[in-house]
């Protein structure tokens, strides 16, 4: 099948050809004809199958006739993250060349005023994240009564991010007579409830079983006997140094770990940078642009980058952490092996990840091949054991003979460190704490030359350790 057989106009076909596409993907072939016919569409497909074009192409075709009014967009596309919304905007600009259509992008992290100016001129297509859309609506800068087409992209991600109440509110804000194009990679019961309530007899287009991984992705698992952060970082570097790793996205569960892993990789000579929700929008945009252009080789990300981002030619995905939610595993590794290309994923698992890993294996219904990293899988556990033995053989200082102080230092050494350099022995336990030294000096006998002086009239230097007592010395210090 070709795009010409889907019923698209010549201008749109020319834009598609210029973009380098020749054949529609299964989800595009199934979703575009009913969307052009004005029917509601429920599209279910794994990530990387071309869902974005499935709704942008028919939307542009149907909007080619007519004109938007000020503050009254004709269509609305809702995306869960800023990056995904920006990507949809890029796709719209690519496919709408030669069409007199205007577009407004409403996302957080940027100023309101430029967005308001675009809305005041009139936008045929409004692409937004839920929070910023509602902000503009509540400020009275946006009217929803002119919306004819509503698109929801990555609906299951909306559920994960807690946007379902906002999504329900948006559905009630738009006119009841509108066309809905609803896309999701998985169909939890909460999402099915939304579909049942707000879609009118939708055309269901499902091109794969929900929550399946692409056959183009070779999956590997690295099992570690230790959950110490420095051992995980060592295993990650070993996996990244293998032959065939051109670039990759590294996923961590926590934003704090994203920053730590990125700094560690940079210190070891890797071209890497972090991206997560706490970074300002300009930094996130620049980091993504550098990664897409090849200037940046590795992207260390939280799950903000796991869904929907179309970054071509990503050779590898590395799961520094096994995701807490099994569905996120499918979306993470879906950043590679896109558009018919092959890719690899490497997941690092420790004993603490047993439940999360079991949930992933149950979801994807297949085993993951164990990857040996030149002895790295066994080395971390042995290294941790040798470090522990060294700390036990280390002489204890007089001040830590009770065990409480030395245990505290040992516990601190197990915390994740920003630097991945080997942990060196802590010799500070045998030193006398500096804060105690002035007090010991004050307890030395007075100089012989000062014997004729009163005990209560000491020199200024001797008075400093007991500032606050004045000339009076309590009985317990006599």
Q: Is 118's pLDDT higher than 60?
A: yes
Q: Is 361's pLDDT higher than 60?
A: yes
Q: How large a percentage of the chain has pLDDT more than 70?
A: 76
- The CATH classification number of 3-206 equals 3.40.50.300
What is the DSSP track for 297-318?
-EEEE-GGGTSS---TT--EEE
Q: What is the pLDDT of residues 422-454, one digit of tens each?
A: 443 333 333 334 444 444 444 444 555 554 444
Residue 369 β-bridge partners: 220
Q: Is 342's pLDDT higher than 60?
A: yes
Residue boundaries of the structural domains of the chain: 3-206, 217-380
Q: Is 461's pLDDT higher than 80?
A: no
Least confident of 22-36, 69-83, 443-457: 443-457
305 neighbors 334 (Cβ within 8 angstroms): no
What is the DSSP track for 230-268?
HHHHHHHHHHHTSTT---EEEE-SSHHHHHHHHHHHHHT
Q: What is the pLDDT of residues 124-159, one digit of tens each?
A: 999 999 999 999 999 999 999 999 999 999 898 888
Tokens of 149: 């087409």
- The per-residue pLDDT for 234 is 95
Q: Is 193's pLDDT higher than 50?
A: yes
Taking residues 30-46, report their average pLDDT: 93
Taking residues 198-219, report their average pLDDT: 85
- The per-residue pLDDT for 236 is 96
How far is it, in rounded angstroms, from Cα 22 to Cα 463? 88
Which residues have CB under 8 Å from 117's CB, separation 6+? none
Domain 217-380 indexed as CATH 3.40.50.300: yes
- The per-residue pLDDT for 431 is 38
Taking residues 241-248, report their average pLDDT: 94
End-to-end CA distance of the chain: 100
Which residues have CB under 8 Å from 398's CB, separation 6+? none
**Averaged pLDDT of the chain:** 80
Degrees, nearest 5: CA angle 300-306-309? 100
Least confident of 95-104, 260-269, 394-403: 394-403
Query: Do 3-206 and 217-380 fold alike per CATH?
Result: yes
183 neighbors 157 (Cβ within 8 angstroms): no
Sign of CA dihedral 221, 222, 223, 226: negative
Q: Could you tell me the pLDDT band of residue 215, with boundaries at 50, 70 and 90?
A: confident
């Amino acid at each position: 099948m070709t795009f010409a057989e889907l019923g698209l106009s010549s201008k749109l076909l020319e834009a598609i050809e210029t973009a380098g596409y020749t054949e529609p993907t299964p989800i595009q072939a199934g979703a575009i004809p009913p969307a052009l016919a004005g029917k509601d569409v429920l599209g279910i497909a794994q990530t990387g199958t071309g869902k974005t074009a499935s709704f942008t192409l028919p939307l542009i075709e149907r909007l080619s006739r007519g004109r938007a009014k000020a503050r009254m967009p004709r269509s609305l596309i809702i995306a869960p993250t800023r990056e995904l919304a920006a990507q949809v905007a890029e796709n719209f600009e690519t496919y709408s060349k030669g069409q007199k259509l205007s577009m407004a992008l409403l996302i957080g992290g940027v100023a309101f005023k430029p967005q308001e100016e675009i809305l005041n001129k009139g936008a045929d297509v409004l692409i937004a994240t839920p929070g910023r859309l509602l902000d503009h609506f509540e400020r009275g800068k946006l009217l929803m009564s002119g919306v004819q087409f509503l698109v929801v992209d990555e609906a299951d991600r909306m559920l994960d991010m807690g946007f379902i109440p906002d999504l329900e509110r948006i559905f009630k804000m738009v006119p009841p007579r509108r066309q809905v194009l609803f896309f999701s990679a998985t169909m939890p019961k909460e999402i099915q409830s939304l579909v049942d309530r707000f879609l009118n007899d939708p055309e269901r287009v499902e091109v794969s079983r929900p929550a399946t991984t692409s056959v183009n992705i070779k999956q590997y698992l690295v099992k570690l006997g230790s959950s110490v952060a420095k051992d995980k970082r060592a295993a990650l570097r070993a996996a990244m140094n293998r032959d065939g790793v051109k670039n990759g996205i590294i996923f961590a569960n926590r934003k704090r770990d994203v920053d730590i892993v990125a700094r560690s990789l940079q210190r070891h000579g890797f071209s890497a940078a972090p991206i997560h929700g706490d970074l300002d929008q300009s930094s996130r945009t620049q980091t993504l642009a550098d990664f897409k252009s090849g200037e940046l080789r590795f992207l260390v990300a939280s799950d903000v980058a796991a869904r929907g981002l179309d970054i071509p030619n990503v050779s590898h995905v590395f799961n520094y952490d096994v995701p807490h939610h099994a569905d996120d595993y499918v979306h993470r590794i879906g950043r590679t092996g896109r558009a018919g290309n092959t890719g690899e994923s490497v997941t690092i698992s420790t004993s603490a990840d047993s439940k999360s890993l079991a949930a992933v294996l149950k979801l994807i219904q297949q085993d993951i091949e164990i990857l040996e990293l030149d002895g790295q899988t066994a080395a971390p556990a042995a290294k941790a054991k040798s470090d522990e033995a060294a700390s036990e053989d280390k002489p204890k200082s007089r001040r830590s003979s009770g065990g409480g102080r030395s245990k505290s230092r040992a516990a601190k050494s197990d915390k994740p460190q920003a630097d991945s350099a080997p942990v060196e022995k802590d010799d500070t336990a045998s030193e006398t704490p500096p804060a105690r030294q002035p007090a010991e000096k004050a307890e030395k006998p007075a100089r012989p030359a000062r014997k004729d002086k009163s005990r209560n009239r000491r020199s200024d230097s001797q008075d400093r350790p007991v500032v606050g007592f004045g000339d009076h010395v309590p009985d317990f210090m006599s």
